[in-house]
Structure formats: C-alpha cells, structure tokens
Chains A and B, each alone.
Chain A
Amino acid sequence: MSSTAEDGLRILVCVKRVPAPGARIALTADRNDIDTRNLGFTTSPHEECAVEEAIRLVEHHGGSSTVMTVGPPEADEQLRYALSVGAGGAVLVTTEGTDPDAQATAKVLVAAIEALEADGGPFDLILFGNESADAGGFQVGIRTARALGRPVVNGIKAIEVAEGRVVARRESPEGYEVYRLDLPAVLGVKEGLNLPRYPTLPGRLRSKKADVPRQPALVVAGGLATLDFRLPSEQVTETTVLGDGPDAAAAVADLLQELGLL
C-alpha cells in the first residue's frame, strides 16, 4: 500500500558522486581514470534538481525524502550536501575500487531499496537523474524501476503529484509530452525541472551532525567493462584578437559583415 494520502510522500533520490572538471579533463598516467588530484566533486545538475524536487514535494505534501548513493566512502560529501539543502535522510552504499557498471549499480540499488522498504514501507516516488554526468549510461534508473516492477519515464522536466498519481512532463521538439503514472513510480529528471536552492548555515550545521549510515555493496559486474580513457583530439585554434575594449567594435562589425550576418 502506498502511504500517499495520510502520511504524505515517501521519496527516494539516487545521486552519484562525480569529479567536477573545469576547462579540460586530465587523465592519470595509466589513463584508467580522471586525474582528480586538483578537482572538487559534485553530483550531476540533473540529480541536484531531483533532490530539490523531493524536498519541495515533501514541503507541499508532507512525508519524507531520503538520498542514496552507491560510491566510495568519500561520497558522504555529496549526501551531506543534499542534507544541507533539506533532504531528510541519507544512505551510503559503499564500493571499493573501480566504479561499478550500470547493471551492477542497478542491482546494488535494488537490493538497498528493498531493504529500506522492508523497514519503512514502499517509496511512493524514486527519482533519478536522466543520465549520470560522468558515465552517461542513460539506464540505471530504468533498470532499477524494471527490477522493482514500477513504471518509469526518463527526461522529465515537470512533476505534479495528486490523488495517488504523478503527472510528469517531458520536452519534445514541438512542446512537451505528458505522462501519468500511478504511484509508486520512478522518474528520471533533467536540469530545468526547478532551480535548486543553496544550503543555509543551519542546514550546513545540521548536515554535519547528521547520521549517514553506511552499508557495503555486493557488486556483481555486468557485461560492459571500462578499459581506459582517451581525450578527443582537440583542434588547435589560432585566436585572432580583434582588439581591446570598445574600440574593437568596428572590427567586430567588419567580422559580422564578412560572415554575411549583418
């Protein structure tokens, strides 16, 4: 039974810790990984919007939001960020060594979700990002939903919950498409769904003290295995400096005319 009407919505959000490269990606010497020594970490913007949406839905309907990740112990940082903006709870399923593939990740998530649901009842809504920022597999949410036997639609940019159902919109070339799913349901969302809030000072303090339980993942590798990485060949561009400051306006207008744009 879904708990929608009386006790609000029980929502789970799945996020992934990824490095945040700037102007270019640097690889490790063996090219097996991104060189993260000088990088911060984050989650995909899609997933930040998923967290924000869960918080808003709970603010509106009551209930609870939980954030979960499968990752290294350091992924604690991304979960605490989600807590600092208002997520209710967090679960870290720890892995060792290389990033599990999509099949393995989905299986770990399914096991963890089933365990959480055995204790606390089913999640009305499970939110994923449309795709992870780094692996870009476009599939972990779909695999997880299939395994749980729940309806799932990816690419969602607007969500409304009412009367045990979720109405979700996705962009199309002409406008948008509307999907209507009975709860419990799963959605993969895209940035633009909302404007995520920033953490508040009390939020940060709360998130520092929060208990983030950890459990080890049982990883069963799937059929797609990463060997190494390569940077796409970058064509070197000779930059023509048209000038400095407002004096360059004539040169810019010349360029526009030359390109037939003026």
Chain B
Amino acid sequence: MVALIEHDRGVAPDTSFQALTFARSVAEQLGTAVEAVIIGEEAQPLATEAASRGAIKTWLVRHPELTDYGPEAWGDAMAQVTTASGAAAVVAVGTDRGNEVLAHAAAIDDLPFAANVVGVEVAAGPWALERVRWGGSLLERSTLDAPVKVLSVPPHAVPAAEPGNGELGTVEDFAPELDDQAARTRIVERVPAAAGSSLAGAAVVVSGGRGVGSAEGFAALEELAGLLGGAVGCSRVVTNNGWRPHSDQVGQTGKRIAPELYIACGISGAIQHWVGMMAAKRVLAINIDRDAPMVTKADYAVIGDLHTILPAVVSEVRRRKEGATVGGDG
C-alpha cells in the first residue's frame, strides 16, 4: 500500500499527510503497512516526517528530470515506484496534483482510477467503493476491479496523520527510469499572484447572486465586507454576466470556502453553489423568496429586497462600530 505525499519544492500543503490517514484505513483492511512516496527534490525533511507519521517505509524518488513538478514525469515515477513496491493499492489526496499524478499513473498501466473516494470495502475480488460526484452532492457506489487499486480521497475528508511515538520508518532512495520526453510538461515559470482575492481564508464572506442585479449593485456588498474585514463572493450567474471576476465565484467550478459566516444575498442555493460554501459554520440568507433553497437551508434569514436591506445593515454596522470607537466597549 503506497501513499503519495504531495509537496512543492519541499513545502507540503496542509492536505499532504491526509494521504497517510486514508492509506492506513485501507491498509488495516488489507492487513498490510503503509509506505509513503515522495517525488522530487528538497523533500528529505518530508521523508523523515512521513516516517514519523506512520509510514513504515518512505520511497524518496529522485531523478534529474524531477527537479520541478511535471505531471507526466511525476506520473511515470509514481507508476514505477508502485510496481517496484509491489503495492496492492496506491492513494493520494485528490488535489489538482494528486488527481493528476494518479490519472497519469493509472493511464500508463491501463488501470482504472477512482477519484474522490470516501468509503472503501476491501475484498478478495473487486473492492466496493463509495465516491463523490457532482463536486460532493451525490455519492456513487461502485466496484473497482483491478490488479492494483488506484484511489484518491477528497481534500479534508480525513484528518492528517499525526506524528506517532512508535518506531521511525525507513527511507529508501528510488531512481525511476525517465526518458527526456518525460519532463516535457514541467513547470517552466512561476508567477506570484498580485494581491489575489482573500476569499479562501476570509472569516466573513458577503456573496451575491442574480438578485444583486448588476456589477454596480456589488458596491453595497463590498462595503459590508469591508466593514467586517471579510471578502466578496458570488454565484456563477454573476460571473457569467461579467459582473465579477471568476476568482470570486463560489461553487463546484469555483472556490470552496469555509468561513465563519456566509451571507448569501440574492442567491437561490443551487447544489453547484451550495457545495462551495456548505462548509461555512453559519449561513445568513438575504432573499425576497422565503422558499428559496438558500433560505430554507440557512441558519438565519432576512426576507426582502437586498437593495434596501444591505444599506440598512451597512449603516447599522457602521453606527455600532463608530459607537464602539467613541464609547469604548460597544
């Protein structure tokens, strides 16, 4: 059983060690141990970390063609190390890179690949799986029949494996055979974002849908978000109309966010939108339609025209903030 530990030039995203947790849940059914796979340079410290988090062995995969991320070379390397390890299954977290590397590795050996698996029942024959579709709003039960099972788990579906106090696993170098074609899709340049949208980490998101009516209509949402130190989001109807950039879109084909409070203004609550914000702690819906799905699924609602409600909320919030500065404790 091998698990891909994702990293970018030595920096592991917060999802990386979730792969070990998922792998262990499968390995326990198989009665085997978990081995980690780390591909590329600058990853020695991560190999030690994987060993401390329960990988009995860590394959440190290095090659001159693996100096920076490239999906084809990473896929080749993953397929080779999987074969060398004799693993019955290979898993990764279903990030952009995780799914991409596994898709390549599976394609190389014409193996099936099950993306975003949330349930596994190991059997002597085909395994029984449950995986998410439609960005998380539908569960598919399926059978996976393959000599080597290739699976990804959705990001944040399981917690990261904790460092244990058991025995430290071993680290083994592995040099894949790669031809000069393998790295033809390597990253050739990185461009840092110019002060990108803070949507992903915002505690409050004030989000607008068709009900906002125009690009100008977002001024009130901007104002409220500004007062609360939050960010502005939107639905796909809004980006399709050109009222906001796609980087503000929340949903299946937009961003997935988990703010403390999501204020949905004039958004109906289609499932493709809902999957992007269902991780919010609380939802406040502002909608003229009392029966809109966003209203019935929200924790709080204000019924009425957002064009009159938002300015009133803005001035009340402003009044209390000013009161707080003048009067001391608000």
Contact = CB atoms under 8 A, between A and B. Distances in A.
Interface of A: 21-25, 34, 44-46, 101-103, 106, 131, 133-139, 142-143, 146-147, 151-155, 169-170, 172-182, 190-192, 195-196, 222-232, 237, 239-253, 255-257, 259, 261-262
A234 B237 CA distance: 25
A261 B133 contact: no
B13 A173 contact: yes
B260 to A, nearest CB: 6
Interface string B242-278: 1001110100111000001100000011110000000
Dominant secondary structure of chain A at its interface with chain B: mixed
Contacts of B139: 229-232
Measured as residues with beta carbon below 8 angstroms from the partner, the interface class of chain B is: 35 or more
Contacts of B107: 106, 139, 142-143, 146-147
Interface string B298-311: 11111111001101
A261 B246 contact: no
B187 A249 contact: no
Interface string B95-116: 0100110011011101111111
Interface of B: 8, 13, 69, 71-72, 94, 96, 99-100, 103-104, 106-108, 110-116, 126, 128-130, 132-146, 152, 184-194, 196, 203-204, 228, 230, 236, 239-240, 242, 245-247, 249, 252-254, 260-261, 268-271, 282, 284-285, 290, 293, 295-305, 308-309, 311-313, 315-317, 320-321, 330
Nearest 7 CB-CB pairings of A with B? A192-B246, A223-B112, A246-B312, A23-B293, A175-B193, A249-B312, A245-B304
B299 A134 contact: no
Contacts of B203: 261
B190 A152 contact: no
Contact of B301 (A154, A224, A231, A239): A239
| Main DSSP-derived SS at the B contact region | mixed
Nearest to A18: B134
Given A139-B115, A243-B302, A249-B316, A46 B188 contact: no
A178 B70 CA distance: 11
A70 B94 CA distance: 25
Contacts of B108: 146
Contacts of A229: 133, 138-141
Contacts of A245: 302-305, 308-309
Which residue of A103, A147, A172 has the most chain B CB atoms within 10 A of its CB atom? A172
A138 B186 CA distance: 19
A153 B185 contact: yes
21 contacts: A21-B134, A25-B138, A34-B138, A102-B113, A135-B133, A138-B100, A142-B100, A143-B107, A151-B72, A154-B103, A175-B192, A177-B69, A177-B187, A192-B239, A230-B130, A239-B300, A243-B302, A244-B302, A244-B304, A246-B309, A256-B228
Contact of B261 (A227, A244, A259): A259
Nearest to B273: A23
B303 A178 contact: no
A242 B300 contact: yes
Contact of B106 (A139, A152, A247, A252): A139
A103 B316 CA distance: 57
Contacts of B293: 22-24
Contacts of A155: 96, 100
A253 B313 contact: yes
Contacts of A25: 134, 137-138, 271
B270 A22 contact: yes
A138 B103 contact: yes
B99 to A, nearest CB: 4
A225 B187 CA distance: 35
Contacts of A143: 103, 106-107
B190 A226 contact: no
Given A103-B112, A255-B284, A224 B144 contact: yes
A223 B253 CA distance: 27
B94 A261 contact: no
Given A106-B107, A174-B190, A249-B312, 5 more contacts: A136-B133, A152-B71, A175-B194, A176-B190, A226-B140
Contacts of A172: 8, 190
Nearest to A248: B302
B103 A257 contact: no
A257 B330 CA distance: 10
A190 B320 CA distance: 42
B252 A230 contact: no
Contact of B141 (A196, A223, A230): A230
Nearest to A186: B185
Nearest to B247: A192
A176 B196 CA distance: 11
B112 A248 contact: no
